[in-house]
Amino acid sequence: MSKVTGDMTIGEVVRMHPDASRVLMSFGMGCISCPGAQMETVEQGAMVHGIDPEEMIEALNNLFNE
């Protein structure tokens, strides 16, 4: 079951799991604590950073399924 979706904000995902920050940063998303992360969705953040949103969402969901 997927817990993370592209329309969730980065801030929501970080609050959901203590290691979500590590996964996001492994994709080059170093701005997870910036104010924009509270309004920017996972999909938007991935696209701005040139990251495949589906790949990042899959990695986040794998974290939740560990």
Domain holding 17: CATH number? 1.10.3910.10
Query: Strand, helix or coil at 41?
Result: strand
Instruction: Classify residue 1: in a domain, yes or no.
Output: no
pLDDT at res. 44: 93
For residue 57, tell me if it sits in a domain: yes
Q: What is the pLDDT of residue 36?
A: 78
- Tens digits of residue pLDDT in 6-65: 999 999 999 998 899 999 999 988 777 778 788 899 999 999 889 999 999 999 999 988
Q: What pLDDT is stored for residue 59 in this prediction?
A: 96
**Size of the chain in residues:** 66
pLDDT of residue 55: 96
Report how far Cα 17 is from the mean position of its chain's Cα atoms. 11
**The total number of structural domains that make up the chain:** 1
The pLDDT value given to residue 18? 83
